[in-house]
Amino acid sequence: MKPDAEPELFPEDPGEPLGPDPVETAALRQSIGELRNLVHFVIGLAILLTLAVNVFMYYQTQVLRAQAVTLQRSVEEMSAVVSQYETNSVPWFERFAMDLHRLAARDPEIAKLVAKYQLPQPTNAPSPLLPAVSR
């Protein structure tokens, strides 16, 4: 061919065959088959992993439900204990403090102890709520 000439559409001697090489085609088919098998294996592993995660999450949900039931029972028991404390123990302690202050008014030795431990003065007003604890 001449350098300035246009390429020929139908060369006399193409040099190499125009079709694919049979050896390269077989190797290419084998590589594609191996890749297909590898993709199937990876998809299978992904399905198994997803199944395992779902089973684990189901188990965790069951454990969480059991813990929620136990926690609810504990909350109910603690509520009953606090209610019992507020209705029985708090009035008893307030009455005890009032009696202690009456006794301190009559006995100077007891008055020193009451002053030392700074017992609050009893009142007939309801006891104030505790301040909120900031964290």
Of 41-50, 65-74, 107-116, 125-134, the poorest mean pLDDT is in 125-134
Q: What is the pLDDT of residue 32?
A: 94
Q: What is the pLDDT of residue 126?
A: 55
Three-class DSSP category at 80: helix
Task: Kindly compute the dihedral angle of the four CA atoms of residues 112, 115, 116, 120, in this order, to the nearest 10 degrees.
Answer: 140
Highest-confidence segment of 53-57, 119-123, 131-135: 53-57
Domain ranges of the chain: 22-117
Tokens of 109: 């030795």
Q: How far apart are CA 78 and CA 115, in angstroms?
A: 35
Q: What is the pLDDT of residues 7-35, one digit of tens each?
A: 666 656 556 656 677 778 888 999 999 99
Q: Where are the alpha helices (DSSP H) in the chain?
A: 22-84, 90-106, 108-117
Dihedral over Cα of 65, 69, 70, 72: its sign: positive
Q: What is the pLDDT of residue 73?
A: 96
Confidence of residue 114 (pLDDT cuts 50, 70, 90): confident
Of 17-26, 39-48, 69-78, 100-109, the poorest mean pLDDT is in 17-26
